[in-house]
Amino acid sequence: MELLNMQGISKSFFKNKVLDNVHLKVKEGSVHALMGENGAGKSTLMKILAGVYKADSGEIFIDGQKVEILSPTAAQKLGIAMIHQELSALPEMTVAENIFLSREPGKLGLVDYKKMHEDTAVLMKTLKIDISSKKKMKELRVADQQMVEIAKAISLDARIIIMDEPTSAITDKEVDTLFEIIRSLTKQGKSIIYISHKMDEVFKICDEITILRDGSFIGTWPASELDDASLIKQMVGRELKDVFPKVDVPIGDNLIEIKNLSCHNQFEDISFNVRKGEILGVAGLVGSGRTEVMQTIFGLAPSDEGQIIFEGKVLNTKTPTDAIKHGIAFVTEDRKKEGIIPDMGVGQNVTLPFMSQFCSKFINQYLGFIVDRRKEADTIEKQIKALGIKTKSSKQTIASLSGGNQQKVILAKWLTGDPSVLILDEPTRGIDVGAKAEIYKLMCEFVSRGKAIIMVSSEMPEVMGMSDRIIVMSNRKLGGELNRSEFSQERIMDLAVSHL
């Protein structure tokens, strides 16, 4: 039985048409994948269904009845809930307060906090999520924040639940828990619209797949009729033969060496080296200390013991400014919170950390420095072209770009500073296969110039496909190291749990 039917949906932002006569039909009690490259229009279509945007044309039917969805509140009343890709938690509020925001239990305007925490605890237990209702959201890992968002959507008792990249920041164990939840929901007759770039997940959990390309409807297929190659071809309009285009380049001497680095309650006695021309993969379970080590190398967190040695010299990187001066750049895991300034333009995001490159000498105490805007504009356009950033102009706000293009802007920003070591923490999180392949090629070009990359990744195929060596973190310690000839998912997992 058909639960949802979206017919002829079109949507433009100013003169930019992002959806053109798109269709989506979802059966009751099914998991329906919505696939396409970043910028294909998936999130826009779902925001129309969720009442965030209003379609320019088209119709929406639920249970065969035409409906008007003019606001998120209207969508919620129709039984529609959405888990957004970019987390929108209120950091200073507790887990319970975030879940029951605007629908807190109580009477006469007084919130019954005891009942709210009890209801949250019951919900979490039912969903097998081990997170205290009283913890503030800012105290949680990104993965735990994601699980809270999932719990919040399910608590609404919606009939249609939109999951936009729900596993982008959670562990394999948490993915299994989520899939158990999804199967339980579909048995109750609820329908899931599942957006993901992880094709193994799509084929594991989804019944049907609808594909969009450049804002247009390509088609809908039973998941059983597609495989990785045919799905990619329909998404990008071409075959994508080299998913991991790793290029072998000469490996040189040590560029950076980490010796016995420790940080209280974060990680202990970490030692490794990275050589010129090398991509060093960093694997391990979420919470194993991978990100914390990278933050310390970049000067975002202090170390208690150990040394960071760069080209034979001991560094004292107390701040990111120190690291940047020594040629170390860091693309963080949380793109929205730490990687971009959303209200600023693409060009401003590219050049902001390195404005000194575009400033003339100090004129006087009144005029200060003079910015060479032509030089800055030339640099911005060069980076946009080199990285293939899809943007109407350098002045377009970065928040309006797709996730893949935002990631390219972040890379462009750090490449403007010409670093020697590039630290990438989950560099392809939440972006499509086409954009991933482009970023992988940029990585290969970067190390071919005698530079080095440290890549933290939770995706096994990625870390094995792009790395020359892999170090594995386990419970905030170094679990071991593997050369390329030794790579296997089993060996990585063995090392990842070696200190648990």
SS (H, E, C) the chain: CEEEEEEEEEEEECCEEEEEEEEEEEECCCEEEEECCCCCCHHHHHHHHCCCCCCCEEEEEECCEEECCCCHHHHHHCCEEEECCCCCCCCCCEHHHHHCCCCCCEECCEECHHHHHHHHHHHHHHCCCCCCCCCEHHHCCHHHHHHHHHHHHHHCCCCEEEEECCCCCCCHHHHHHHHHHHHHHHHCCCEEEEECCCHHHHHHHCCEEEEEECCEEEEEEEHHHCCHHHHHHHHHCCCCCCCCCCCCCCCCCEEEEEEEEEECCCEEEEEEEEECCCEEEEEECCCCCHHHHHHHHCCCCCCCEEEEEECCEEECCCCHHHHHHCCEEEECCCHHHHHCCCCCEHHHHHHHHHHHHHECCCCCCCCCCCECHHHHHHHHHHHHHHHCCCCCCCCCEHHHCCHHHHHHHHHHHHHHCCCCEEEEECCCCCCCHHHHHHHHHHHHHHHCCCCEEEEECCCHHHHHHHCCEEEEEECCEEEEEEEHHHCCHHHHHHHHCCCC
Q: What's residue 241's pLDDT?
A: 61
Q: What's residue 286's pLDDT?
A: 74
Task: Please report which confidence band the pLDDT of residue 259 belongs to, taking 50, 70 and 90 as the band edges.
Answer: very high
Burial of 73 (0-12, 13-18, 19+ CB in 10 A): exposed
Q: Is residue 240 predicted with pLDDT exceeding 60?
A: no
Distance spanning both ends of the chain, measured CA to CA? 47
Q: What's residue 157's pLDDT?
A: 83
Q: What average pLDDT does the chain have?
A: 89
Instruction: Please state the rounded mean pLDDT for residues 73-79.
Output: 93
Q: In what order do the strands lie in the sheet with 80-83?
A: 65-67, 57-62, 2-13, 16-27, 216-222, 208-213, 31-35, 191-195, 160-164, 80-83
Task: Please report which confidence band the pLDDT of residue 83 belongs to, taking 50, 70 and 90 as the band edges.
Answer: confident
Instruction: Please state the rounded mean pLDDT for residues 427-442.
Output: 82
Task: Please report which confidence band the pLDDT of residue 197 belongs to, taking 50, 70 and 90 as the band edges.
Answer: confident
Q: List the domains of the chain with CATH numbers.
A: 2-236 (3.40.50.300), 254-496 (3.40.50.300)
Q: What's residue 137's pLDDT?
A: 92
Task: Please report which confidence band the pLDDT of residue 418 belongs to, taking 50, 70 and 90 as the band edges.
Answer: very high
CA distances from 43 to 39, 85, 155, 163, 463 (A): 9, 9, 22, 10, 27
Separation between Cα atoms, residue 223 and residue 32, nearest integer Å? 9
Q: What's residue 164's pLDDT?
A: 86
| Residue % of the chain over a pLDDT of 90 | 57
Q: What's residue 357's pLDDT?
A: 83
CA distances from 414 to 138, 145, 353, 485 (A): 27, 28, 8, 31
Lowest mean pLDDT among 369-373, 385-389, 452-456: 369-373
Q: Which among 253, 257, 259 is positioned nearest to 277, based on CA atoms?
A: 253
